[in-house]
C-alpha cells in the first residue's frame, strides 16, 4: 500500500522501459526507498538508525566474507590464523578491526533503533508486525554475534562458549544431552568451532531476509513519526528520495566518523584482553564476561542466585534472560494507550527514562565481577525490568491522561495546516 499521492515510477529511457516490462526491479526500488515512498515530513534524527543498521549489516557481510577467505576454522590453528590476518594479510588488521568493532556499532545503532521504538511506541497497531520481525532480527543478531566471538578461539571465546552453551544444560531432563548435541562434544572443541563458523556465515543472510520482511511490513502502513499522529494529507509527507536519502547521508557521515575513530584509534577498547590469550580449557579466566552488548542480559542471568521453590536458580536465570527479550514480542498488547508518542504521555515518559537508566545499570553490573554489591544491584534492576514491561506499562496505559495531540503532522511542523483545515472532516478531527 502507499498513499494515493505517491510519485509514480516513470522509466526514463528505452532500456529502463524494457526492464520495467520484464522485471520491474527499478520500480520496486523506487517505491521502496526512492521518490515513490512518501514519508512523514517530521522525522527526527532518531529515525536514522534503521538505515544505519542496514549499513552495518552490509559492512559486516563484506568484511566478514573477506575475513573468511583467510581464517581457518580449526581449533588447532584458528587463533594463529587470526594473527596471520592481523600481521600478514594486506589490510587484514583493518578488516578484522572493522568487523569486530562493526559488531559493536551494529548493536549500538540497533539498541538506539529499539529504544526509539520504545519511546515512540512504534510497536503499536498497525505496525505490530514490523516490531515482531524486528525482535526476530535482534535475536538472530545476538546468536550471530555470540558465535562470531567464539571464532578467534581466545580465552573469552572458549569460556564464553562454555558458559552460554552450558545454559542449555539447565533445561530439565533433556538439558545435558541437548548441550552435548549442540556442541558436538562435552566441551567446546573443534566440532563446536566448525559449526559456529558455518552458522556465523549463514545467519547474516537469514537476517538480511528478515530485514526484507521488516521493510515490506513497514511499507504497508508507512513510517511512524515523532507525533504518533497518522498521515492525513499530502502535505504531511515528503518523498523518501531526496529528503530522507539526504538526511540519512548526513547521519551516515556522523556515524562513520565515530565508528572510524574507534576503529583506527581504539580498536581494542570494547574487547577483552583475555581474548588475546589462546583458548586453554585447563585455565579458567578470573571473570568470564561476554561482549558489552550482552551485559544487561548477562546481569539478569546472574541475578537469580537462589532456587525458587522447586526451580533451580540456574534455570530461573536462563528463563529470565530469554524472557527479558521475549517480553518485547508482547509489547503491542501490553501497552494499550491509544497515544503512541512519548511526547504526549507524561507518566509513560518518566518510566521510559527509568527503563533506560535501569538497562544501563544492568549493563554495568553485567560487565562487573559477580560479587557484591553488583549482584544485589542487578537483582533490583532486573526486578524493575520485568515489572516495567509486564506491570507498569499496562497500568500506566490505563491510568494516564495523555496531553493533547497536534491536529496533523503538518501542523506540528509549521504551526498551521491549511490543506488539512480545507479538507477537514470534523468527525475525524
Partner 1 sequence: MVRLFGPLVGLFFAVALLWSFGNGAYTAIKEPAAATAEHEFHLHPKEVKFASDGAFGKFDKQQLQRGFQVYKEVCSTCHSLKHVAFRDLAALGYSEAEVKAIAKEWGAKQPTFDPKSGERGERDNIPSDYFPVVYYAGQGVPPDLSLITKARHDGGAYVHSLLTGYQEQPAELLKKFPDAKTPDGLYYNPYFANLNLAMPAPLSGDGQVTYADGTKATVDQMATDVSAFLIWTAEPKMDKRKQTGWAVLGFLLFATVLAYLAKKNVWADKH
Whether 223 sits among the annotated catalytic residues: the reply is yes
Whether 81 sits among the annotated catalytic residues: the reply is no
| C-alpha grid cell, residue 298 | 548477562
Question: Does 62 interact with partner 1 (rule: CB under 8 A)?
Answer: no
Query: Between residue 200 and residue 229, which ones bind partner 1 under the rule CB under 8 A?
Result: none
User: To the nearest whole angstrom, how small is the minimum distance from the Cβ of residue 184 to partner 1?
Assistant: 28
- The correct pick among 19, 208, 210, 313 for binding partner 1 (CB under 8 A) is 313
Question: Does 252 interact with partner 1 (rule: CB under 8 A)?
Answer: yes
Q: Which of the following is catalytic: 2, 84, 176, 219?
A: 219
- Residue 343 assigned to a binding site: no
Query: Between residue 401 and residue 420, which ones bind partner 1 under the rule CB under 8 A?
Result: 413
Question: Does 162 interact with partner 1 (rule: CB under 8 A)?
Answer: no
d(CA 429, CA 427): 6
Question: Does 4 interact with partner 1 (rule: CB under 8 A)?
Answer: no
Q: CA 303, 304, 305, 306: dihedral to nearest 10 degrees?
A: 150
If you compute the radius of gyration of the chain from its CA atoms, what whole number of angstroms results?
24
**Is the separation of the CB atoms in 279 and 192 below 8 Å?**
no
Question: Does 336 interact with partner 1 (rule: CB under 8 A)?
Answer: yes
- The correct pick among 25, 58, 65, 260 for binding partner 1 (CB under 8 A) is 260
CB atoms within 10 A of CB 141: 22
The helix or strand, by DSSP H or E, that contains position 244, with its residue range, turns out to be: none
d(CA 279, CA 152): 9
Whether 248 sits among the annotated catalytic residues: the reply is yes
Whether 397 sits among the annotated catalytic residues: the reply is no
d(CA 406, CA 71): 56
Nearer to partner 1, 204 or 296 (CB): 296
Nearer to partner 1, 177 or 249 (CB): 249
Q: What does DSSP assign to residue 146?
A: H
Whether 128 sits among the annotated catalytic residues: the reply is no
Question: Does 87 interact with partner 1 (rule: CB under 8 A)?
Answer: yes
**Is the separation of the CB atoms in 342 and 348 below 8 Å?**
yes
Segment contacting partner 1 (CB under 8 A): 14-22, 173-181, 186-194, 244-252?
Answer: 244-252
User: To the nearest whole angstrom, how small is the minimum distance from the Cβ of residue 245 to partner 1?
Assistant: 9
**Is the separation of the CB atoms in 117 and 107 below 8 Å?**
no
Segment contacting partner 1 (CB under 8 A): 197-205, 219-227, 311-319, 415-423?
Answer: 311-319
Counting residues that bind partner 1 (by CB under 8 A) gives 62
Nearer to partner 1, 257 or 428 (CB): 257
User: To the nearest whole angstrom, how small is the minimum distance from the Cβ of residue 359 to partner 1?
Assistant: 16
Question: Does 374 interact with partner 1 (rule: CB under 8 A)?
Answer: no
- Residue 113 assigned to a binding site: yes
d(CA 137, CA 127): 16
C-alpha distance across the termini of the chain, in Å? 24
- Residue 84 assigned to a binding site: no
- The correct pick among 77, 250, 356, 418 for binding partner 1 (CB under 8 A) is 250
**Is the separation of the CB atoms in 374 and 311 below 8 Å?**
no
Question: Does 387 interact with partner 1 (rule: CB under 8 A)?
Answer: yes
| Nearest to 204, CA basis, from 152, 260, 143 | 143
> Can you tell me which residue has the cell 512504534?
122
**Is the separation of the CB atoms in 156 and 285 below 8 Å?**
yes
**Is the separation of the CB atoms in 125 and 135 below 8 Å?**
no
Question: Does 386 interact with partner 1 (rule: CB under 8 A)?
Answer: yes
Task: Report angle CA 381, 382, 386 to the nearest 5 degrees.
Answer: 120
Q: CA 151, 141, 176, 166: dihedral to nearest 10 degrees?
A: 60
Q: Which residues are within 8 A (CB) of 77 and not within 5 positions of it... i.e. 6 or more apart?
A: none
Binding site feature residues for a ubiquinone: 219
Catalytic residues: 219, 223, 247-248, 291
Residues that bind partner 1 (CB under 8 A): 41, 80, 83, 86-87, 93-94, 97, 238, 242-243, 246-247, 249-250, 252-254, 256-257, 260-261, 263-265, 267-268, 273-274, 276-277, 286, 303-306, 308, 311, 313, 316, 320, 323, 327, 330, 333-334, 336, 371-372, 375-376, 379-380, 382-383, 386-387, 389-391, 394, 413
Binding site feature residues: 99, 113, 200, 214, 219
Amino acid at each position: 500500500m502507499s498513499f494515493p499521492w505517491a510519485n509514480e515510477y516513470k522509466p526514463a529511457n528505452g532500456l529502463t522501459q524494457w526492464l520495467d516490462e520484464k522485471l520491474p526491479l527499478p520500480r520496486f526500488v523506487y517505491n521502496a526507498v526512492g521518490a515513490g515512498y512518501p514519508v512523514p515530513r517530521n522525522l527526527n534524527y532518531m529515525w536514522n538508525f534503521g538505515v544505519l543498521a542496514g549499513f552495518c549489516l552490509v559492512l559486516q557481510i563484506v568484511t566478514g566474507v573477506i575475513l573468511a577467505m583467510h581464517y581457518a576454522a580449526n581449533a588447532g590453528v584458528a587463533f594463529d590464523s587470526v594473527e596471520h590476518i592481523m600481521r600478514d594479510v594486506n589490510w587484514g588488521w583493518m578488516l578484522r578491526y572493522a568487523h569486530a568493532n562493526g559488531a559493536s556499532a551494529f548493536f549500538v545503532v540497533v539498541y538506539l533503533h529499539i529504544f526509539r521504538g520504545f519511546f515512540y511506541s512504534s510497536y503499536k497497531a498497525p505496525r505490530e508486525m514490523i516490531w515482531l520481525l524486528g525482535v526476530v532480527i535482534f535475536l538472530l543478531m545476538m546468536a550471530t554475534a555470540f558465535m562470531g566471538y567464539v571464532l578467534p578461539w581466545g580465552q573469552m571465546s572458549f569460556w564464553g562458549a562454555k558458559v552460554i552453551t552450558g545454559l542449555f544444560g539447565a533445561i530439565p531432563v533433556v538439558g545435558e544431552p541437548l548441550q552435548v548435541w549442540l556442541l558436538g562434544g562435552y566441551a567446546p572443541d573443534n566440532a563446536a568451532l566448525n559449526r559456529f563458523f558455518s552458522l556465523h556465515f549463514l545467519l547474516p543472510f537469514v537476517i538480511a531476509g528478515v530485514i526484507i520482511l521488516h521493510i515490506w511490513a513497514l511499507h504497508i502502513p508507512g513510517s511512524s513519526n515523532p507525533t504518533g499522529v497518522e498521515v492525513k494529507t499530502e502535505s504531511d509527507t515528503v518523498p523518501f528520495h531526496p529528503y530522507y536519502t539526504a538526511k540519512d547521508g548526513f547521519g551516515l557521515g556522523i556515524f562513520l566518523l565515530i565508528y572510524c575513530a574507534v576503529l583506527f584509534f581504539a580498536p581494542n577498547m570494547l574487547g577483552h584482553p583475555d581474548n588475546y590469550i589462546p583458548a586453554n580449557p585447563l585455565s579458567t579466566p578470573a571473570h568470564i564476561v561476554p561482549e558489552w552488548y550482552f551485559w544487561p542480559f548477562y546481569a539478569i542471568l546472574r541475578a537469580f542466585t537462589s532456587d525458587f521453590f522447586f526451580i533451580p536458580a540456574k534455570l530461573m536465570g536462563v528463563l529470565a534472560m530469554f524472557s527479558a527479550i521475549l517480553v518485547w514480542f508482547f509489547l503491542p498488547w501490553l501497552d494499550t494507550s491509544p497515544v503512541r508518542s512519548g511526547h504526549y504521555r507524561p507518566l509513560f515518559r518518566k518510566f521510559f527514562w527509568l527503563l533506560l537508566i535501569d538497562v544501563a545499570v544492568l549493563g554495568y553490573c553485567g560487565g562487573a565481577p559477580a560479587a557484591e554489591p553488583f549482584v544485589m544491584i542487578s537483582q533490583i534492576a532486573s526486578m524493575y525490568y520485568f515489572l516495567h514491561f509486564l506491570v507498569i506499562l499496562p497500568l500506566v496505559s490505563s491510568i494516564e491522561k495523555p496531553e493533547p495531540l497536534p491536529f496533523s503532522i503538518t501542523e506540528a511542523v509549521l504551526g498551521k495546516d491549511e490543506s488539512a483545515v480545507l479538507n477537514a472532516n470534523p468527525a475525524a478531527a
